[in-house]
Structure 1
Amino acid sequence: FFMDQTNQLLQCVVENARTGMNAVDQLLQKVEDAGIRDELMREREQYQAIAHTAEQTLYTMGGKPETVGVMQRVRMWMGMELNTLKDRTPAHIADMVIQGATMGVVDMTKARNELSEADAQAQGIAGEFIVQQQDNIERMKAFLR
C-alpha cells in the first residue's frame, strides 16, 4: 500500500514535469524575446532534472514511468496554438506559464495530500516540484505588463 502510494506520487511528478517540458518546448518555438527565452530554457532544465529524479526513483523501487497520453498532449498543443496565435509578447507568454505552473502546484499539492502514505523520498521530490513551480511563478511575474 505504501509502495503503491509512493509509485503514484512519483508518477504524478513525472507526468507534471513532462507536461511542463512539452509546454516549454512548444513556447520556445514561438518566443523571440531573449529574456523570457532564457527563463524558459532554465525552467525546461528544471523540469528535465526533476522528471529524471522521479523516474530513477521509480525504477529503483521496481516501478516504471508511464507515458503522458497522446490526447492530453494534443489538447495542450491546440490550446497553446490558439493562445499564442495573436499574442506572443513576453507578458502573454509569462501569463500562460504562470497559469500552467499554478495548475502544477495545485495538482501536486492535491496528490501529496491524497497520497499521504507515500514515502519521505517521494514526498520530498513532490515538494521540490512545488517549490520550483512557485519560484517559476515569481520569476515570470517580472515579465507581466
Structure 2
Amino acid sequence: MKKDDVEILRGVQKNTEMAMKAINTISEKVLDDSLAVQLSKQALKYSEIHNKALDKILEAKSEPYRTNNVSQMMLVGGIHSNTMFDTSTSHIAEVMIQGSNRGITDMCKHLNHHEHAEDTSLEIAKELMDFEEKNIERLKKYL
C-alpha cells in the first residue's frame, strides 16, 4: 500500500473518531428522541467506516492514526461552550451540520494532497464524504 493510501485512511480514521466523539459529547444534551436516534445511527455508521479504514491500514502493516488528546479536548470543550446556553434541537442539529461540513472539507484536503492513492482508500474516503453529505440533509429537518 502506498504512503498516500495510508494517509487518506488515517484521515478517515481521524474524521470518524472526531465525529463519534462529537456525537458522544452532544448526545447527553439532545432532548428530541428522533434526533437522538438519528445521531445514534450516525455513530454506528461512523464506527463501521472507521473500522474499514483501520482494517486496511493494519493489513498493510502500517501505523494507524493516533488520537490527539488536545484535539479531543478542544472538540469536547467547543461543543460544551457552544451548547452551554442553547440546547435546542435546532441548535444541536446546526452544530452537527457544521461538524459534517468540516469533515467533508478535511477529507477534500486529504484527497487533494494525496493524489497517488488507489481505489480502496479512495472508495472508503468517498464513502465517508457521501455519508457526511447525507447526514447534513437528514439534519436539516431539525433546523
Is this a same-fold pair by TM over 0.5?
A: yes
Contact 1:7 1:58 in 2 (8 A): yes
Tell whether 2:137 aligns with 1:138. Answer: yes
Q: Which residue of 2 aligns with 1:42?
A: 41
After TM superposition, give the deviation of residue 66 of structure 1 in Å.
Answer: 2.2
* Secondary structure of the structure 2 residue equivalent to 1:143: coil
Tell whether 2:132 aligns with 1:121. Answer: no
What is the letter of the counterpart of residue 8 of structure 1?
E
Give the TM-score of the pair, scaled to structure 2. Answer: 0.97
Contact 1:101 1:133 in 2 (8 A): yes
The 5 A counterparts of 1:53-68 are 53-68=52-67
Question: For 1:66 and 1:10, how far apart are their aligned partners in 2?
Answer: 8
Q: Which runs of 5+ in 1 are unaligned?
A: none
Question: For 1:54 and 1:108, how far apart are their aligned partners in 2?
Answer: 13
After TM superposition, give the deviation of residue 24 of structure 1 in Å.
Answer: 0.3
Q: Which runs of 5+ in 2 are unaligned?
A: none
Contact 1:9 1:111 in 2 (8 A): yes
Contact 1:19 1:68 in 2 (8 A): no
Question: For 2:65 and 2:13, how far apart are their aligned partners in 1?
Answer: 8
Q: Which residue of 2 aligns with 1:8?
A: 7
Contact 1:55 1:64 in 2 (8 A): no
After TM superposition, give the deviation of residue 63 of structure 1 in Å.
Answer: 1.1
The 5 A counterparts of 1:64-75 are 64-75=63-74
| The 10-residue stretch of structure 1 (6-15 or 58-67) with the greater mean CA deviation from structure 2 | 58-67
Q: Which residue of 2 aligns with 1:19?
A: 18
Query: Cα RMSD over matched residues?
Result: 0.9
Contact 1:5 1:118 in 2 (8 A): yes
